[in-house]
Structure 1
Amino acid sequence: MINRLVILGATGDLNGRYLLPALTALRAAGHLADHFELRCADRQDQTAEDFRRWASDQLDLHAAREQREAGDAIAERAEYRQADATDPADLAALLAGDGPAAVYLALPPGIFPGTVAALRDAGLPPGSRIVLEKPFGEDLDGAVALNRLLAQVVPEQAVFRVDHFLAMTTVQNVLGSRLANRVLEPLWNSAHIAEVEIIWEESLALEGRAGYYDGAGALKDMVQNHLLQVLCLVAMEPPLSLGERDLRDRKIDVLRSVRPLTDDDVVRRTCRARYGAGRIADRDVPAYAEEDGVDPGRGTETFAEVVLELDSWRWSGTTFRLRTGKALGRDRKEVAVRFRPVPHLPAGFGTEAEPNVLRFGLEPEGMTLALTGIGAGSHVLAPVTLTARPAPSDLPAYGRLLLDVLHGNAALSIRGDEAEESWRVLEPVMSAWSRDLVPLVGYPAGSDGPAVVRGS
């Protein structure tokens, strides 16, 4: 296990909101050794004490209250240094010491190539690992180039392209539910499933993230990574094991089976939109184009929907709908597996049977199965819903990811060829959108968003 973590971009939202609380949870659970080192670096000129006060404030906001003692220990242990993440000399000084280090790039994706090149020139201690957040590259060519650069620094097994969705309890339950239950796996195919929806819709608006979001948009921010990763777990063939090779081999099989989209397909099967002024609950929300830091001329979308099909024996005839949006009237974050209707319903039932739907709630976590049963009257069909809640997780998603990084378990990390295939799937969409083949439509903040696409 590596006992040295270096966080670049340490004064950013990712570290304050997720990484420091995750380290607190790991310490509270006894996963970090007493000699664990935490080195934090950023361009800001501040003292170590200034940084510790900031870290303590972030933990007050985002860490569990019952872990306050562990949080104090993490904040006190954090060592801060001013450093340029693209300067080999600064990184060499930051990495000085005994033993390997895990270097976490909590940085804007555009800085990744310069930082990886600087790490190469600085010289990483043997056995070190590099951790990168999504999106991995800006497009397919960028992902290929970044993979080549990483290969000059560390072996593929030491590269962790993390996606915290893969560590969410309910996302893991997608695999457990279908692979460990005989009642589901025989039905997990196109003969029984008509459509799978993978949805991340949120009432949250831009919330000061224009610096990153306006250069990415909903397609790159959510669909290209998070939602495609969930698609892989839903659609993959049963792996021989949950080890990193077997699991990731089956995931890339799914991505390679996605039917390539033509321009006509993109026009019929995708939607892009951005929110206008509106009201969400008790607050007024300005139009996205009027948010601070937004360049209206970029045409950045805040809503994206893509309908895909897989060219495989198991899934031919099933559609996969990936949708995400901001500033909507309600939060809806789930995987909805929609089964086909029964082939025949005996005469005498007073109503038609609704198709069954199995829902995996991503946030909040949970599972529901919508069935049809007998209602109050004889032979009158009525909906019946079965609900389950998973046991509370012992660690937050980022806690599990960091623990995997420190232990060298890459099963939930994205392999290099997998990152490239994810871009291949969406490159036709990006190309068609850049040529305005699909218009950028609007929707009021607080609404249900634009109409869904037909998908055929």
Structure 2
Amino acid sequence: MDYLRREGGVSVVERIVIFGATGDLTGRYLMPALAKLYEAGKLPGGIRITGVDRRGWEDDEAGFRRLVLDNLERHAGGVSASVREKMALEVVEYRRADVTDAESVISALGPLTGPILAYLALPPAVFAPTIEALKAADLPEGSRVAVEKPFGVDLESAQNLNRLLHEFLPESAIFRVDHFLAWQPFPTIMGLRFANGIFEPLWDRNFIDRVEIVWEETLALEGRAGYFDHAGAFKDLIQNHLLQLLCLTAMEAPTALHRRNLRDRKVDLLRAIRRLSPEEARLQTVRARYSAGKIGERSIPAYADEEGVDPDRGTETFAEVTLSIENLRWAGVPFVLRAGKALSGFRGEIAVHFKPVPHLAFQRADDPRPNVLRVGLEPNRVTLNLNVNGPYDPFDLEQIELGAALDPQEFFAAYEALFLDLLEGNTTLFVRADEAEEAWRVSEPILDAWEKGLVPLLEYPAGSNGPAEAPAEPEPSRSGAGREEPTPWAR
């Protein structure tokens, strides 16, 4: 087989086919990640990267190569100019095709002499017909299919996608992508929880008051109406990324960090999350979209007035849900998941709020602020807020912060790490079939309540802290206002 080699008994494909090759995800993240791996010598020798899309140029091959080179110059500045040119001029090729039509896809793939990695960087609406087309192409044994998030648009569509994929691929060859799992905070929260005798005995309802998992950003729509106006903040972030972080924060300890053990524990946790009734959804969720405002020096139009937005669709740019986990460890502890756009400052973190001491000996002190353990998502930083004696009166209290910035991922950012796992067939940091469906079982009642109008669509000015009905974290915890937004992944 020309496109197959063996490393330690693991087959590695040597041809990558990207469906949706002219899209933002491919240009901004996938191609730069592949270029970095190529420069580092981490891709198989003789690698071929085939881009497939509907877009056409007078000379398709030359047009696509120019597009790849432009995107690499814009988004892969750390890669040498010679490697960028070699990637664009020698490694990639282009095939124009209708990705939903089997004959068109088969023609684009051409003769298949060995296993391929088919990467679906596509909108969820076309996943099913593209997978049907791949099935008709009769992919060689050892081929793999990667599907970007969100995996479907509801429970039924996720179940249908799983059924279609399993008709011609084993689960070990299916990679449902959630790049948060390949990002540095993933091992950070695992290490804090399961490698420290300080925290493990305290990690339950007896000592923890509540947990917040938050992704708030200053970015507005930024030209992504085609995708975001159909997804919204909940499907874009909470249904996948933040639920994954919830799993890591609250799941039981795996016996080992093996793909099955780890994913079994995540599924157990998802199954323990209480599905909200319509009344609970009304009381425990918030949705809103931004109106016109200013973020720093930028004037932001109202979301409903952004180009490409259908205001009647009622898409939310801010979403907050409070979930309960019905098991012995977490009964009674609220888990707040919040995501929002066009806010006053960037905040991405897991914040674990501990309960106060049962008796406070400092009678003259005001109620002390709670101890909070924060795992910063970007930058990756761990802090712990503690109460100590005040500097002037030994019977007063003040709060201090102990913190450490963790070394950044030196080479393997999220998509680089994911591509290495894809090529080596390692499914540990990808979402399993039952896990994808359980995430929709949690999410669907919330989205149903929103669609029925049980939860009003609020508004908040761009550049504010969000809608008044969603209390903001105290100002000291909000960081990054005015600094460059993080960009190590697609949202």
1:386 to 389, 402, 411: 402
Q: Is the 8 A contact 2:352 2:373 kept in 1?
A: yes
Matches within 5 A, 1:15-414: 15-46=26-57, 47-76=60-89, 77-95=91-109, 96-347=111-362, 350-379=365-394, 380-393=396-409, 394-414=411-431
Residues 1:14 and 2:25 aligned together: yes
1:418 to 435, 441, 446: 435
Q: What is the CA distance between 1:345 and its match in structure 2?
A: 2.2
- Separation in 1 of the partners of 2:80 and 2:239? 34
- What amino acid does structure 2 have at the position aligned with 1:27? Y
Shift in alpha-carbon separation, 1:68–1:315, aligned structure 2, 3 A: farther
Q: Is the 8 A contact 1:101 1:125 kept in 2?
A: yes
Q: What is the CA distance between 1:153 and its match in structure 2?
A: 2.1
- What amino acid does structure 1 have at the position aligned with 2:134? L
Q: Is the 8 A contact 2:95 2:108 kept in 1?
A: yes
Matched with 1:429 is: 446
Shift in alpha-carbon separation, 1:236–1:452, aligned structure 2, 3 A: farther
Q: What's the TM-score once normalised by structure 1's chain length?
A: 0.96
Q: Is the 8 A contact 1:24 1:67 kept in 2?
A: no
- What amino acid does structure 1 have at the position aligned with 2:169? V
Q: Is the 8 A contact 2:112 2:139 kept in 1?
A: no
Q: What is the CA distance between 1:184 and its match in structure 2?
A: 1.2
- Separation in 1 of the partners of 2:81 and 2:341? 32
Residues 1:448 and 2:461 aligned together: no
Give the 3-state SS of the residue equivalent to 1:153 in structure 2.
coil
Matched with 2:477 is: none
Deviation string, structure 1 residues 385-407 (Cα, Å, up to 9, x no partner):
11212222121101111111111
- Separation in 2 of the partners of 1:184 and 1:222? 28
- Separation in 1 of the partners of 2:76 and 2:189? 27
Deviation string, structure 1 residues 423-452 (Cα, Å, up to 9, x no partner):
110111111111111111111111111135
Give the 3-state SS of the residue equivalent to 2:220 in structure 1.
coil
Q: Is the 8 A contact 2:291 2:460 kept in 1?
A: yes
- What amino acid does structure 1 have at the position aligned with 2:358? P
- Separation in 1 of the partners of 2:72 and 2:356? 49
Q: Is the 8 A contact 1:341 1:355 kept in 2?
A: yes
Matched with 2:5 is: none
Q: What is the CA distance between 1:67 and its match in structure 2?
A: 4.3
Q: What is the CA distance between 1:21 and its match in structure 2?
A: 1.1
Please list every run of 5 or more consecutive structure 2 residues that lacks an aligned counterpart in the other structure. 1-11, 472-491
Shift in alpha-carbon separation, 1:120–1:204, aligned structure 2, 3 A: same
Give the 3-state SS of the residue equivalent to 2:222 in structure 1.
coil
Q: Is the 8 A contact 1:132 1:162 kept in 2?
A: yes
- Separation in 2 of the partners of 1:93 and 1:245? 37
- Separation in 2 of the partners of 1:78 and 1:371? 54
Q: What is the CA distance between 1:453 and its match in structure 2?
A: 4.9
Q: Is the 8 A contact 1:109 1:137 kept in 2?
A: yes
Shift in alpha-carbon separation, 1:452–1:236, aligned structure 2, 3 A: farther
- What amino acid does structure 2 have at the position aligned with 1:252? V
Give the 3-state SS of the residue equivalent to 1:165 in structure 2.
helix
- Separation in 1 of the partners of 2:325 and 2:70? 47
Give the 3-state SS of the residue equivalent to 1:304 in structure 2.
strand
**Which sits farther off after the overlay, 317-326 or 47-56?**
47-56
Q: What is the CA distance between 1:39 and its match in structure 2?
A: 0.8
Q: Is the 8 A contact 1:218 1:303 kept in 2?
A: yes
Q: Is the 8 A contact 2:380 2:408 kept in 1?
A: no
- What amino acid does structure 2 have at the position aligned with 1:392? P
**Which sits farther off after the overlay, 304-313 or 384-393?**
384-393
**Which sits farther off after the overlay, 237-246 or 89-98?**
89-98
Q: What's the TM-score once normalised by structure 2's chain length?
A: 0.90
Shift in alpha-carbon separation, 1:367–1:353, aligned structure 2, 3 A: same
Deviation string, structure 1 residues 37-88 (Cα, Å, up to 9, x no partner):
1111111123222212211111111114254443333223111111111222
Give the 3-state SS of the residue equivalent to 1:232 in structure 2.
helix
- What amino acid does structure 2 have at the position aligned with 1:50? G
Q: What is the CA distance between 1:91 and its match in structure 2?
A: 2.2
Please list every run of 5 or more consecutive structure 1 residues that lacks an aligned counterpart in the other structure. none
- Separation in 2 of the partners of 1:37 and 1:60? 20
Q: Please provide the CA RMSD for this pair.
A: 1.5
Deviation string, structure 1 residues 170-208 (Cα, Å, up to 9, x no partner):
132111111111111111111111111111111111111
- What amino acid does structure 1 have at the position aligned with 2:461? P
- Separation in 2 of the partners of 1:443 and 1:145? 37
**Which sits farther off after the overlay, 91-100 or 311-320?**
91-100
Q: Is the 8 A contact 2:35 2:79 kept in 1?
A: no
**Which sits farther off after the overlay, 144-153 or 374-383?**
374-383
- Separation in 2 of the partners of 1:251 and 1:19? 27
- Aligned pairs, number: 454
